[in-house]
Amino acid sequence: MNARYDHIVIGAGHNGLVCAFHLARRGRTVLVVEAGGEPGGAAVTREFAPGFKVSAAAHLLDALPDELLRDMQLERHGLSFAGRRLATCALSPDRAPLRFASAGLAGASSSDTAAFESFRQQMDRHAKVLDRLLDMVPFRLDLATWRERLDAVRLAWDIRRLGRRDMRELLRIAGMNAHDLLTEHFESDLLKGALAWDATLGAEHGPRAPGTVLTLLHRWALRARSRSNGIAQPAGGMGAVTGAMARAAGAAGAQIRTGARVERILVDADRACGVRLRSGETIHGGSVVSNVDPKTTLLKLLGPEHLETDVVRRTAHFRSKGLVARLHLALDAAPVFRGLDAADLGGRLLVSPSLQYLELAFNPSKYREVPAEPAMEITVPTVNDPGLAPAGRHVMSINLMFVPYDLGFDPQGAHNALMRDSMAVLERHAPGLGQKVVASELLTPADLEREFGMTGGHWHHGALSYDQFFFTRPLPGAAQYAMPVTGLYLCGAGCHPGGGVSGLAGRLAALTILKETGRADVREGGAGRQGDARA
Amino acid sequence: MHAHSNERPHYQRPLLTTPFFERSRFLVQTDAFIPWSGYTIPDVYSSVEQEYFAIRNSSSVFDLTPMIKYRIGGPDAERYLNRLVTRDVARLKPGRVAYAVWCNEFGHLIDDGTLFRFGPREFHLCTAERQLDWLLDSAIGFEVEVEEVTDRIAALALQGPTSCAVLKSLGLAGVETLKVFEIGRFRLGGHALTVSRTGFTGDLGYELWIAPDGALDLWDRLMDAGRSRGIRAIGYQALEMARIEAGFVLPNVDFISAARTIRLGRETTPLEMDMEWLLDFDKGHFNGRRALLKERRSGSRRRLLGIEIAGNKPARGALIYDSARASRQVGEVTSALWSPTCKRNIALAMIDAPYFTALEEFWVDIYLNRELRWERRVERARVVPRPFFAPERRKATPPLDR
């Protein structure tokens, strides 16, 4: 079969674009097919009301590695930052906010301030171990190759090098829950609640669930990658980031086709050989790389008939129900938060005033109910980037937790209740906000699934938890980007190292693909890597 | 606690009886019943030898009801089964039956069975073990219905050289035209009767499938029609003898289902079971295909072979050695029998690599209990083709009138 392209990438999300960039840069012919009208996937800027724009899913850029910025020359391709090193304010209904900035923690008791400093340093040291994982194709437990053995030894060495005290502490806390860890360190509810936000975002549990410390460490390690910019706000919203990535991939030689929805991955002689679009058009490629979530890729685009029953069962069990909803508000004036000054408003605002608050916000989701008092991560992007709204007006972009995918018998009722209750919580912190709202949009995980095609509406394509991490992400035996069908790869957040606009999964996938598919092999459609059942 | 048996929890209830129990209970002289898939069935009616010779010389009736039966239907049934089993189901025509095996992702055998195709979207899968969980997991992503119908169908195996004549005298018009693995639909005494030319004896024979309320009527008519043709109800032991002569394998005797193994390495692949003829690598993906392709390239760890052993002492459970000194073990016997029809001492044997190709002769270590005294014989054995017994009447269509 004559392959028109060496590689076809399904989905122009950030990982798909990063993957396409690395493949094209090495001289491969790459076509990226994107179902949406513009590149970006879920990392796009969305006009939710006439003249009012927000980032549709992730609204802050806190994990984009400096290396990626440099490699792809994103700033040359049009990316600029409206805000860098943004501070975080933890809001409380009855006391002054806490402020986290590069300079340190402000507003906490002296003992908490000191404890935070030592906690931060300890987390930094622990995160270094995870940091190596972020650039590592997960090894298989049988360590069949020298490369894998070397990686395992390096990892063990990293842990050992922590020294006895830190190593013991890391091994102690790695499976722990955030609630207990934070309670060991701090006295302030507000501080604990704010830190627990990072431990539960993208997980599937409240802060009392085991494994939430791992989520916190993971985010800590990811944030460390954004060395120069910290928590940043891209000018023009997230669409500007993926827009720059698309231009970088294009400059490297990749072609991008938008408005082209893939309906089926084509398989010939147990080898992925192309895609069929909804229009009926077929495109042949030497290999197919999917930035789509693992469930959709394997069960819908590829089809279970090409997979082992065991693999299908594991894929079906991949936990991928999101718990984060998006609330977008169009405001006719700047919001005024109690206790915040104008400079604070451009940062990241957390409504997660205690561990108990966060746990109670989680509990209803177990029963397919929405929380009466949701936890929130709020930004007012127009403070740093006025162009996102008409002159003098503002938008507010909010992550809401914990909103279940399945809203029970009355989804519309739940939707309305969530909207009403979210506004009540906001009103508590920003009195008079409701009067300023001229338009709003609430996207629950089910809406996000419909809008962006992510199974379960999970931005990370699947919960980031201990059993869906590293060599078990997305599936044991298929965690090395290559899927069981030869010539099919995953490159999205469903793979290691998971979600966050970091492009890390896309890069690791590209490195794997480059290694596994020599050009000669691609041209001749040779046998290539044989699928195997090694777990 | 209620006295009525159905009110007891399932683990305190006795085994189920099949719709033929009323008749078999009346005929069994030895009280030898054995459990099979939650049912009780006769192990021996009166004499194993006489029952065995009914299979080979006249007609035998075996109650097959406890065989696990699944109905598989729906628009994706063929696609679903093609991923499940190793053979190409697209080539199985409606009205035909195929022997099939299925594996897990490592190419390890889960079970074997017979696949009946009644129509483009309608199948029955008859298996040794219950495995609805596997069949349902395999159905994820397919538009297919899978349900167990074991207790909705009463089944008898009618096997032996006079079996076709018995069916003809029941008035099943045209039954003699059924080819091996073909399915026929008939009516008998107001009941729909399905007849398939299939069996587990390697002889001329049929399997009869009927709704439970027609079961006793079928039994009585068969026994009446077969009286002059030496018909006899047989138990499990006689069938087991014929099974070995036919060279058929039995799960958990000749191989362990991968769903049951506990020890690593006890799983068995179809290539090890000498079933390469059942593997269609060209039909597209099926469960275990990638692992089996790899095994075909790199070689199997062992292989099941038919062997013939000197002497007449059955080699049940015997270890196999590479020399008469019996020092290096190279395999073991899985099933063994002194074959009354072949007059040969036969066995199925699992031989390790590389000996299954390297050696032509083996030595079998047989232990005999002779009036409470154990004796040991190390007998010479050689590889022989399977089936050990394959009469022409098995395939002749129409079968000779006897």
Query: Would you list the DSSP string of B291-339?
Result: HHHHHHHH--SEEEEEEEESSS---TT-EEESSTT--SEEEEEEEEEEE
User: B179 to chain A, minimum CA–CA distance in Å?
Assistant: 32
Indicate yes or no: CB of B140 within 8 angstroms of CB of A303.
Answer: no
The secondary structure of residue A402, as a DSSP letter, is -
Residue B104 forms contact with A (CB below 8 Å): yes
- Alpha carbon distance B335, B249 (integer Å): 9
Q: Which residues 6+ apart lie within 8 Å of B270 measured at CB?
A: B86, B101, B103, B107, B109, B276, B278, B279, B288, B292
Report the alpha-carbon distance of residue A294 to residue A495 in Å, rounded: 8
Do the Cβ atoms of A484 and B293 come within 8 Å? no
The helix or strand, by DSSP H or E, that contains position B43, with its residue range, turns out to be: strand B39-44
pLDDT score at B349 = 98
Count of C-beta atoms within a 10 Å radius of residue B348? 24
Taking the CB of residue A351, how many other CB atoms lie within 10 A of it? 28
Distance CA B212, CA B16 (A): 14
A532 in reach of chain B (CB within 8 A): yes
Neighbours of A410 (CB within 10 A): 10
Residue reference for tokens 């004549």: B165
DSSP annotation of B235: -
B105 interfaces chain A, CB cutoff of 8 Å? yes
**For residues A26 and A416, what is the distance between their CA atoms, to the nearest angstrom?**
51
For residue A479, being part of any structural domain is answered with: yes
Q: Which one-letter DSSP state was computed for residue B356?
A: H
* Cis preceding linkage at B399, omega within 30: no
**pLDDT given at position A3:** 57
> Which residue of chain B is at minimal alpha-carbon distance from A486?
B290
Whether residue B89 lies within 8 A of chain A, CB to CB, comes out as no
Q: In terms of DSSP bridges, do strands A5-10 and A282-290 run parallel, antiparallel, or are they unpaired? A: parallel
Any CB–CB contact under 8 A between B213 and chain A?
A: no
Q: Which residues of chain B have pLDDT under 70?
A: 1-6
Type of residue found at A504: L
CB nearest to B141's CB, from A299, A308, A532 = A299
Closest-CA residue of chain A to B82: A305
- Tokens 């993926």 correspond to A242
pLDDT computed for residue A535 by the predictor: 35
Would the CB atoms of A305 and B284 count as touching at under 8 Å?
yes
The Cα–Cα gap between A371 and A362 comes to 7
ipTM score of the complex?
0.88
B135 at A interface, C-beta within 8 A: no
Q: Is A260 a member of any domain?
A: yes
CATH number (domain holding residue A48): 3.50.50.60
Cα distance from A214 to chain B (closest Cα, Å)?
31
* Planar angle of CA A461, A464, A467, nearest 5 degrees: 115
- Rounded Cα distance between B382 and B337, Å, is 15
Burial B363-387 (b: 16+ CB within 10 A, else e): bbbbeeeeeeeeeeebbebebbebb
Distance between CA atoms of residues B115 and A483, nearest Å: 31
Let me know if residue A106 belongs to a domain: no
Which of B264, B269, B285 is best to mutate for the A interface (most A CBs within 10 A)?
A: B285
DSSP state of A297: I
Phi, psi of B219 (to 5 degrees): -55, -50
- B259, two tokens: 């769903």
> What pLDDT does B6 receive?
61
Q: How far is B226 from chain A (nearest CA, A)?
A: 46
List domains and CATH numbers for chain B: 5-65+153-234 (3.30.1360.120), 68-151 (3.30.70.1400), 302-402 (2.40.30.110)
- CA-to-CA distance for A38 and A452, rounded, in angstroms? 12
Interchain pair B140, A313: CB under 8 A: yes
Cβ–Cβ contact B284 with A under 8 A? yes
Q: Which pair of tokens denotes residue A429?
A: 């912190």
Q: Do A304 and B83 touch (CB under 8 A)?
A: yes
Q: Is residue A117 part of a domain?
A: no
Q: Name the pairing type of β-strands B59-63 and B319-321.
A: unpaired
Q: Are A312 and A485 in contact (CB under 8 A)?
A: no
Predicted local distance difference test score (pLDDT) of residue A534: 37
Q: Which of residues 471-510 of A touch B (CB under 8 A)?
A: 484-485
Number of folded domains that form chain A: 1
At A202 the pLDDT is 81
The Cα–Cα gap between A326 and B174 comes to 71
B137: which chain A residues are within 8 Å (Cβ-Cβ)? 309, 312-313
Which residues 414-473 of A are in CB contact (within 8 Å) with B?
Answer: none
In a domain, A16, yes or no: yes
**A287 DSSP β-pair partners:** A7
* Strands laid side by side in the B231-233 sheet: B183-188, B191-196, B205-210, B154-159, B59-63, B231-233
Q: What is the DSSP letter of B95?
A: T
Q: What would the two tokens of residue A284 be?
A: 């042949």
Cross-chain CB nearest to A304 (options B107, B140, B293): B140
| Per-residue pLDDT at B7 | 78
- Strands B59-63 and B154-159, how do they pair? antiparallel
Looking at the complex, does the CB of residue B171 fall below 8 Å from at least one CB of chain A?
no
| SS3 per-residue string spanning A138-207 | CCCCCCCCHHHHHHHHHHHHHHHHCCHHHHHHHHHHCCCCHHHHHHHHCCCHHHHHHHHHHHHCCCCCCC
Q: Which residues lie closer than 8 Å to B17 by C-beta, 6 or more apart? A: B39, B40
Q: B133 CB near a chain A CB, below 8 Å?
A: no
Q: Which of A439, A447, A443 is nearest to A396 (CA)?
A: A439
Quick count: other Cβ atoms within 10 Å of Cβ B102? 29
Residue B82 sits at the chain A interface (C-beta within 8 Å): yes
Per-residue pLDDT tens listing for chain A (535 residues)? 455 899 999 999 999 999 999 999 999 999 999 999 999 999 999 999 999 999 999 999 999 999 999 999 999 999 999 999 999 999 999 899 999 988 889 999 999 999 999 999 999 999 988 898 999 999 988 888 998 999 999 999 988 888 999 999 999 999 999 999 999 999 999 999 999 999 999 888 999 999 999 999 999 999 999 989 999 999 999 999 999 999 999 999 999 999 999 999 999 999 999 999 999 999 999 999 999 999 999 999 999 999 999 999 999 999 999 999 999 999 999 999 999 998 999 999 999 999 999 999 999 999 999 999 999 999 999 999 999 999 999 999 999 999 999 999 999 999 999 999 999 999 999 999 999 999 999 999 999 999 998 999 998 999 988 899 988 999 988 889 999 999 999 999 999 999 889 999 999 999 999 999 875 444 333 333 333 333 3
- Closest to B291 (Cβ–Cβ): which among A299, A312, A533? A533
Write out the residue range of the structural domain in which residue A47 sits: 5-81+236-319+461-524
Asked if B294's CB is within 8 angstroms of A532's CB, the reply is: yes
* Cβ-contact B362, B122 below 8 angstroms: no
> Does residue A156 fall inside a structural domain?
no
Before A93, cis peptide (omega within 30)? no
- Residue from A506, A508, A478 nearest A492 by CA: A506
Distance to chain B for A491, nearest Cα, Å: 23
For residue A402, say if its preceding peptide bond is cis, omega within 30 degrees of 0: yes
Interface of A with B in 253-272 (CB under 8 A): 267, 270
CB contact under 8 A, B106 and A303: no
Residue A116 has what pLDDT? 96
Complete DSSP assignment for A517-531: --HHHHHHT---SPP
Question: Under a CB-based contact definition with an 8 Å cutoff, are residues B270 and B278 in contact?
Answer: yes
- Pairing mode, strands B68-73 and B59-63: unpaired
Q: Which residues contact A97 (CB under 8 A, 6 or more apart)?
A: A89, A90, A91, A107, A190, A339, A340, A344
Is A332 within a domain?
Answer: no
Residue A321 in contact with residue A204, Cβ under 8 Å? yes
CB contact under 8 A, B290 and A305: no
Q: Is there a contact between A305 and B138 if contact means CB atoms under 8 Å apart?
A: no
Is the CB of A270 less than 8 angstroms away from the CB of B142? no
Give yes or no for B281 touching A (CB within 8 A).
no
Confidence (pLDDT) at A104: 87
Per DSSP, helices labelled H in A382-503 are 411-429, 433-436, 445-452
Q: For residue A182, what pLDDT is reported?
A: 98
Q: What is the pTM of this model?
A: 0.91
Residue A529 included in any domain: no
Whether the CB of A78 is below 8 Å from some CB of chain B: the reply is no
Instruction: From residue B3, give the alpha-carbon distance in Å to each of A243, B34, B38, B39, B77.
Output: 76, 24, 21, 21, 44
Q: Is B138 on the interface with A (CB under 8 A)?
A: yes
Q: Do A308 and B105 touch (CB under 8 A)?
A: yes
Estimate the crossing angle of helix A164-173 against helix A146-161, to 10 degrees.
110
Which of A303, A306, A313 is opposite residue B137, by nearest beta carbon? Answer: A313
A–B: how many Cβ contacts below 8 A? 62
In angstroms, the separation between the Cα of residue B98 and the nearest Cα of chain A is 21
DSSP-derived secondary structure letter, B29: S
Q: Which of A270, A305, A534 to mutate to test the interface with B (most CBs of B within 10 A)?
A: A305
